[in-house]
């Protein structure tokens, strides 16, 4: 029999670089210190852990479907942020919610717009629904409001803005976010992806949630994967006008958030101490690592100012980012090299524990010395 396949994936799929997860062990089998996925180096708060464990206690904890509406979690989120729970949606990570936005509002012939060096999921979300991804010019890795608005056409249906942005770490200000929204046609959904929002100080808040309370075309997304330390459970949430939320519910997977995930997230929202400790730790060691790496400016090292739990570090001297990446791996550290995203001269490094951060800085220094 002929076992050759007659199936043909859609042509765009071969153009997408597969997601290659960070390796967990080096060539010699030693575990690598993983600073490649912007996870919380302090782990998970006790309250989230306890709630997770408790959710597994009943006899049918695994045999019954979870609450399809994530009701308790939505109510807890709404109470915490002063929102209407009916306008909150939970997702299988915020990744699912980002895909849903494209699925509900764009299709063949439409355009989906974002800034160059935007989060990698945006292009895939656009192509999956047959829409055309459009990248606006950046301004030295940050959002250029004028360039973004200039790239809007009558076919634009969704605009994604990660704020702060991954992989660049840059933050668009409250004023810039308001200007983007004011400049968009009313039939464009403005998705403000706030995966790293909890790392911001109150003064840095981009105003997205406030704006979304009254504006019918804003969808704000957040995640429990970063500061809350629950990346393994895949829980995200979003907030928008009731009409938007209703459309997203209709096309989402019916049981998109696990029972244990919903419980853990409720626990996490009751643990301000853990969130505050995580933010403070990050601020201290981000400032420290930034300064350490900037002191290597004579080697062509440049750090993009970060509002997140990671740094985008440019290697523009004699030793390339790729070489540093390999040498860091040999020294036991895995960071993210980004050739697939058009920044082959950069490495993205997550802020780790104190020991990990000090060790990483020393390893970068050694890598540049040869």
Find the shortest distance in angstroms from Cβ 236 to ligand PMP: 4
CA distance linking residue 301 with residue 290, whole number of Å: 11
Find how far residue 173's CA is from the centre of its chain.
18
Note whether 366 binds ligand PMP by CB under 6 A. Answer: no
CB of 224 to ligand PMP, least distance (A): 7
Question: What sign results for the dihedral spanned by CA atoms 134, 121, 344, 17?
Answer: negative
The rounded radius of gyration (Å) of the Cα atoms in the chain is 21
Among 42, 147, 149, 231, binds ligand PMP (CB under 6 A): 231
CA distances from 345 to 35, 291, 313, 336, 339 (A): 18, 19, 8, 11, 8
**Number of residues that this document lists for the chain:** 370
Can residue 193 be called a binding residue for ligand PMP (CB under 6 A)?
yes
Closest residue to ligand PMP in the complex (CB): 93
Distance in Å from the first CA to the final CA of the chain: 56
Which of 162, 257, 334, 364: binder of ligand PMP (CB under 6 A)?
162
For the CB of residue 63, give the shortest distance to ligand PMP in the complex, in Å: 26
Verify binding: residue 310, ligand PMP, rule CB under 6 A: no
- Grouping H, G, I as helix, E, B as strand and the rest as coil, residue 105 is helix
35 vs 363 by CB, closer to ligand PMP = 35
Among 229, 236, 238, 261, binds ligand PMP (CB under 6 A): 236
Span near ligand PMP by CB under 6 A; candidates 88-96, 127-135, 249-257, 332-340: 88-96
Contact pick of 44, 47, 76, 93 for ligand PMP (by CB under 6 A): 93
94 is an interface residue for ligand PMP by CB under 6 A:
yes
Q: Does 158 bind ligand PMP (CB under 6 A)?
A: no
Instruction: In angstroms, give the least distance from the CB of 331 to ligand PMP.
Output: 24
In DSSP terms, 113 is beta-bridged to: 134, 159
Helix (H/G/I), strand (E/B), else coil: 266: helix
194 CB-near residues (< 8 Å, 6+ apart): 163, 206, 208, 209, 220, 221, 222
| Residue 357 in the binding site for ligand PMP (CB under 6 A) | no
Strand partners, 192: 161, 220
Least distance (Å) between residue 167 CB and ligand PMP: 8
Contact segment (CB under 6 A) with ligand PMP among 87-95, 131-139, 212-220, 263-271 equals 87-95
Residue 95 makes contact with ligand PMP by CB under 6 A: yes
User: Applying CB under 6 A, does 166 fall inside the site for ligand PMP?
Assistant: yes
Closer residue to ligand PMP (CB): 35 or 361: 35
d(CA 232, CA 184): 36
The label of the residue with tokens 């004023």 reads: 175
Nearer to ligand PMP, 225 or 306 (CB): 225
CA distance 38 to 349: 8
* Residue number with CB closer to ligand PMP (55 or 350): 350
Only segment of 54-62, 90-98, 100-108, 319-327 that touches ligand PMP (CB under 6 A): 90-98
* Shorter beta-carbon distance to ligand PMP: residue 52 or 319: 52
Q: Tokens 């993205």 correspond to what residue?
A: 348
| Residue indicated by tokens 């292009």 | 123
State whether residue 42 is helix, strand or coil: coil
- Nearest residue (CB) to ligand PMP, 36 versus 156: 36
Looking from the CA of 332 toward its CB, the CA atoms found within 13 Å total 11
Q: Is the dihedral of CA 54, 57, 62, 65 positive or negative?
A: negative
Write phi, then psi, for 344 (nearest 5 degrees). Answer: -70, -15
Binding mask 96-125 for ligand PMP (x = CB under 6 A): -----------------------x------
What residues line the site for ligand PMP (CB under 6 A)?
Answer: 38, 93-95, 119, 162, 166, 193, 195, 223, 225, 231, 236
């Amino acid at each position: 029999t002929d076992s050759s396949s007659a199936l043909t994936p859609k042509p765009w799929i071969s153009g997408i670089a597969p997601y290659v997860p960070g390796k967990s062990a080096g060539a010699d089998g030693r575990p690598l210190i993983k600073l490649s996925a912007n996870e919380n180096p302090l782990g998970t708060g006790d309250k989230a852990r306890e709630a997770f464990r408790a959710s597994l206690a009943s006899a049918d904890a695994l045999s019954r479907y979870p609450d399809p509406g994530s009701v308790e979690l939505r109510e807890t989120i709404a109470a915490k942020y002063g929102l209407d729970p009916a306008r909150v949606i939970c997702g299988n990570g915020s990744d699912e919610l980002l895909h849903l936005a494209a699925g509900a509002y764009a299709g063949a012939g439409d355009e989906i717009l974002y800034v160059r060096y935007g989060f990698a999921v945006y292009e895939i979300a656009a192509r999956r629904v047959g829409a055309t991804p459009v990248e606006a010019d950046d301004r030295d890795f940050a959002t250029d409001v004028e360039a973004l608005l200039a790239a809007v056409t009558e076919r634009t249906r969704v605009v994604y803005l990660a704020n702060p942005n991954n992989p660049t770490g840059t933050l668009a200000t409250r004023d810039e976010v308001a200007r983007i929204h004011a400049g968009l046609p009313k039939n464009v959904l403005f998705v403000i992806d706030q995966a790293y929002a909890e790392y911001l100080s109150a003064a840095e808040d981009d105003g997205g949630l406030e704006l979304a309370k009254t504006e019918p075309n804003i969808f704000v997304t957040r995640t429990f994967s970063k500061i809350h330390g629950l990346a393994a459970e895949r829980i995200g949430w979003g907030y928008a006008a009731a009409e938007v939320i209703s459309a997203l519910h209709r096309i989402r997977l019916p049981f998109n958030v696990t029972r244990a995930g919903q419980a853990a997230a409720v626990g996490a929202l009751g643990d301000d101490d853990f969130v505050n400790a995580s933010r403070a730790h990050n601020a201290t060691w981000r400032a420290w690592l930034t300064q350490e790496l900037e002191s290597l400016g004579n080697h062509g090292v440049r750090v993009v100012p970060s509002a997140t739990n990671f740094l985008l570090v440019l290697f523009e001297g004699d030793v390339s980012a790729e070489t540093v990446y390999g040498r860091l791996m040999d020294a036991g550290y895995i960071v993210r090299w980004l050739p697939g995203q058009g920044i082959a001269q950069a490495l993205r490094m997550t802020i780790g524990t104190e020991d990990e951060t000090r060790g990483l800085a020393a390893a970068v220094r050694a890598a540049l010395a040869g």
